[in-house]
Amino acid sequence: MGALTGVLYALLGLFLGGWYLGYWSGNFALLLFVLSVVTFCYWLAERLVFLPRRKAAAAALEVQDAERRAKLGQLGIAKVDGDLDGARRAVLAQPWWLDWTAGLFPVILAVFLLRSFLFEPFKIPSGSMIPTLMVGDLILVNKYHYGVRLPVINKLVIPNHTPQRGDVMVFRYPRDPSVDYIKRVIGVPGDVISYRSQQLYVNGERVPTTPMPEFYDEDSMRYVPQFKEQLGNADHRILVNPKLQPFYGADDQRPALVRENCTYNVEGLTCKIPPGHYFMMGDNRDNSQDSRYWGFVPDENIVGKAFFVWMNFSDLSRIGPFH
């Protein structure tokens, strides 16, 4: 078993190394599930097989020691050398391959359940949600806000809240579900969303915006026009540069569902959100690949609602809730 455990750890190290270096993509939820199953098998074997064997061996050791002392006592030898307690502890001790499998099962299971059903941490990798979320923000995502979903397959089993306009939501990228994206919910099923001349309209009504002091973008080292936008129950900040006119690509590059429900022209686009889908946009409107480019997010791709920055090692003042 020690050799088998060593091989399994070597395969795990190879997989994680290739994932980190970008040779292949990985599914962390699936990895945690597999680790939970494998360590559970070791934990079960420890409780049912290996631990009883060690206890039986320890009991046999005690019997042998008692018989030896009795025989020596018959010969008049009262003082007998031997550390029975030390030998018993050595027999009962778990081998390394059980320490690193069965011993880790409770921890891995707790992480798997916590991450699958309660809260999941994410790191913001890009500037598409600036100024709400900055590159390097470590955030928490509420996994049960939109309902309880089965791990790995992400199937909804217990409905809860539905996504609302203005929510900051993590979801699986429709073109590559192994990648998680974070954007703001702009349109819900049945809405008509228009983004024309860099102005947002929901169901024919212009979304109110209020100018704010310019935002200094440290990456580009320039100031960008900043606005407060009222969408849903809470307002939030957005960046829009009137000097930049977005280009959404050729029509034949868009999914069929987008071509059926959206129209594009020189001013922008208008989309009717189909049932079970959502329209997502980044707060950094001129620097965000979102539903304007690749289409709608289906309900089955929802991961959870982002709500809290728990750490940013470059700026501790970032810690706290956000809208």
Enzyme catalytic residues: 128, 183
Rounded to 10°, the helix 28-45/2-21 angle is: 170
CA distance 46 to 103: 9
Long-range contacts of 257-263 (CB under 8 A, 24+ apart): 257/295, 257/296, 258/295, 258/296, 261/296
Alpha carbons within 13 A on the beta-carbon side of 115: 17
Distance of CA 293 to the CA centre of its chain: 24
Cβ within 8 Å of residue 249, ≥6 positions away: 293
Question: Is 139 in a helix, a strand, or coil?
Answer: strand
Nearest-5° Cα angle at 314, 311 to 317 = 60
